[in-house]
């Protein structure tokens, strides 16, 4: 293509952003800028969404300044994308500041802020904002109710969640979809009410998805309900036969119960079927540059310093009461090896790199593509108190804002 206009460039940026290839989207935006192509509203929305997906705060702030320079700051759609950017980067106060300064808001703006509060663990603030939205005569959408139900789920508010769920159809004529049911299933699971969660799946007014059964399967892991876990994994696999996730979770449940024969059988099945397990990866942004890490990663130029810091941290934590939760290591190995495995998780490596790369007391923000490890969560609380650091972790489901040894999730996750 010889001639590319702003529509073409914006389409490329948007495509990368939708596939969560944020850095590729940023590269395209930079090339567009070098070609002196003036960005439009769609360009800015797409690149802000890309920055949000990979939590590149430094580049996001640069785009924010560019938005102001080009006169798009008052555009309601662009501003909503900026709210989403700051929220996804763990800067809730900045997101709220932008929201409060909006002269005009639509349902998408309200949804973005309600979701931000929910993801950061401020469930009561999310529900309070929802009530303000209703009083402002803004009609809630299905997206609104998903954020509201998520807020209830993160806080264990079963009765409130059921009330909002019933309100969808009764008050607004909205038919609940699988994502709304999944919030309730997750809530029942967290409360140990697995039978009610399973019954809800069976009686859904829409077809259950793989995620529906995975929500129940996750609850089975907590309660070590092996028969129900096996059934849920089979149903999830039927709905998404190319996913290894149901079998990985089932294998983990078997391992937690010491059923190593079954573990090996499931792992062999995964291998024979050619199913790919999603590897855990974590990233951290330092001085505007994003650094990626995998489990036991040795590729970084500062690998030696990182691992030396990990050893030091492990020793310092033990001196103040930290005890590695080796039961989360789902391999049939000795305790010493299990402890080493925990120490080399991707989020722990990212944190160690952040600590050696920033001045004391600097806040650190880590992004993980999977759910945070319970032992790493515990370790981060010890480290935050030992080093007087705020540690913000965005995992696959929510934010964990850890400060002075306490997490915003109140250890309910």
Residue 194's Cβ-side half-sphere holds a number of Cα atoms within 13 Å equal to 19
**Is there a contact between 198 and 216 (Cβ–Cβ < 8 Å)?**
yes
**Beta strand pairing call for 289-294 and 364-368:** unpaired
**Burial letters 314-323, b for 16+ CB under 10 A, else e:** beebeeeebe
Name the one residue in this structure whose structure tokens are 């008050």.
171
103, 129, 150: which is the final residue of a domain?
Answer: 103
Q: Is there a domain that residue 89 lies in?
A: yes
CA distance 33 to 65: 14
According to DSSP, the residues that pair with 265 across neighbouring strands are none
Q: Is there a domain that residue 373 lies in?
A: yes
- Residue 337 is predicted with a pLDDT of 81
Q: Is there a domain that residue 244 lies in?
A: no
CA 201 to chain centre: 24
Helix (H) or strand (E) holding 406: strand 406-407
Count of other CB atoms within 10 angstroms of residue 4:
14
Domain tally for the chain? 2
Nearest-5° Cα angle at 188, 185 to 193? 130
Torsion angles phi and psi, residue 369, rounded to 5 = -80, -15
103, 119, 153: which is the final residue of a domain?
Answer: 103
**Which domain, by its residues, includes 94?**
1-103
**Residue 410 in tokens:** 């109140």
Q: Is there a domain that residue 294 lies in?
A: yes
CA distance 60 to 398: 20
Per-residue pLDDT of the chain (413 residues; tens, 9 = 90+): 455 788 888 899 989 988 888 889 999 999 998 988 999 999 999 999 999 998 899 999 999 999 999 999 999 999 999 999 999 999 999 999 999 999 999 999 999 999 999 999 999 999 999 999 999 999 999 999 999 999 999 999 999 999 999 999 999 999 999 999 999 999 999 888 999 999 999 999 999 999 999 999 998 988 899 999 999 999 999 999 999 999 999 998 998 898 999 999 999 999 999 998 888 999 999 998 999 999 999 999 999 999 999 999 999 999 999 998 877 777 777 777 888 888 999 999 999 999 999 999 999 999 999 998 899 999 999 999 999 999 999 999 899 999 999 999 988 76
50, 72, 103: which is the final residue of a domain?
Answer: 103
- End-to-end, the C-alpha distance of the chain in Å comes to 49
- Residue 401 is predicted with a pLDDT of 95
According to DSSP, the residues that pair with 366 across neighbouring strands are 284, 393
Helix (H) or strand (E) holding 403: strand 399-403
Nearest-5° Cα angle at 149, 283 to 211? 60
CA 76 to chain centre: 25
Q: Is there a domain that residue 190 lies in?
A: no
Q: Is there a domain that residue 202 lies in?
A: no
Q: Is there a domain that residue 199 lies in?
A: no
Helices (H) and strands (E) in the chain, counts: 20, 6
Distances (CA, A) of 314 to 202, 204, 308, 404: 46, 47, 10, 18
Q: Is there a domain that residue 64 lies in?
A: yes
DSSP category for residue 70: T
- CATH number of the domain to which 27 belongs: 1.25.40
- HEC profile for 209-241? CHHHHHHHHHHHHHHCCHHHHHHHHHHHHHHCC
Helix (H) or strand (E) holding 281: strand 281-286
pTM value is 0.89
**Is there a contact between 293 and 310 (Cβ–Cβ < 8 Å)?**
no
Q: Please name the residue ranges forming H helices in 173-292.
A: 178-190, 194-202, 210-223, 226-239, 245-256, 260-273
């Amino acid at each position: 293509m010889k001639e590319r206009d702003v529509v073409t460039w914006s389409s490329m940026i948007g495509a990368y952003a939708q596939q969560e290839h944020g850095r590729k989207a940023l590269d395209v935006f930079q090339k567009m800028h070098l070609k002196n192509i003036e960005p439009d509203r769609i360009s800015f929305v797409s690149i802000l969404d890309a920055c949000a997906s990979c939590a590149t705060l430094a580049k996001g702030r640069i785009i924010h300044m560019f938005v102001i320079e080009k006169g798009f700051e008052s555009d309601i759609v662009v501003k909503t994308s900026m709210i989403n950017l700051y929220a996804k980067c763990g800067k809730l106060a900045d997101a709220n500041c932008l929201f409060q300064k909006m002269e005009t808001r639509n349902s998408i703006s309200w949804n973005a802020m309600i979701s931000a509060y929910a993801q950061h663990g401020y469930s009561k603030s999310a529900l309070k904002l929802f009530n303000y939205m209703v009083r402002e005569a803004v009609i809630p959408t299905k997206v609104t109710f998903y954020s509201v139900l998520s807020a209830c789920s993160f806080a264990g508010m079963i009765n409130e969640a059921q009330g909002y769920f019933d309100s969808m159809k009764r008050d607004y004529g909205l038919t609940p979809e699988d994502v709304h049911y999944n919030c309730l299933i997750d809530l029942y699971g967290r409360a140990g009410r697995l039978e009610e969660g399973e019954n809800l799946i069976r009686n859904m007014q829409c077809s259950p998805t793989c995620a529906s059964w995975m929500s129940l399967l996750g609850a089975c892991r907590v309660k070590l309900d092996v028969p129900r876990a096996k059934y849920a994994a089979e149903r999830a696999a039927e709905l998404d036969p190319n996913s290894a996730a149901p079998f990985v979770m089932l294998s983990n449940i078997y391992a937690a119960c010491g059923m190593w024969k079954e573990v090996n059988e499931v792992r062999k099945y995964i291998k024979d079927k050619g199913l790919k397990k999603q590897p855990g990866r974590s990233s951290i942004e330092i001085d505007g540059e994003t650094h990626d890490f995998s489990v036991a990663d040795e590729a970084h130029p500062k690998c030696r310093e990182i691992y030396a810091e990990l050893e030091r941290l492990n020793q310092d934590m033990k001196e103040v009461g930290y005890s590695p939760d080796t039961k989360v290591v789902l391999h049939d190995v000795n305790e010493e090896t299990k402890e080493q495995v925990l120490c080399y998780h991707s989020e722990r490596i990212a944190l160690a790199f952040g600590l050696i790369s920033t001045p004391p007391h600097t806040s650190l923000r880590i992004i993980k593509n999977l759910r945070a490890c319970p032992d790493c969560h515990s370790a981060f609380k010890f480290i935050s108190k030992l080093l007087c650091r705020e540690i913000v972790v965005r995992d696959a489901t929510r934010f964990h804002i850890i400060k002075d040894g306490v997490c915003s999730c109140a250890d309910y996750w």
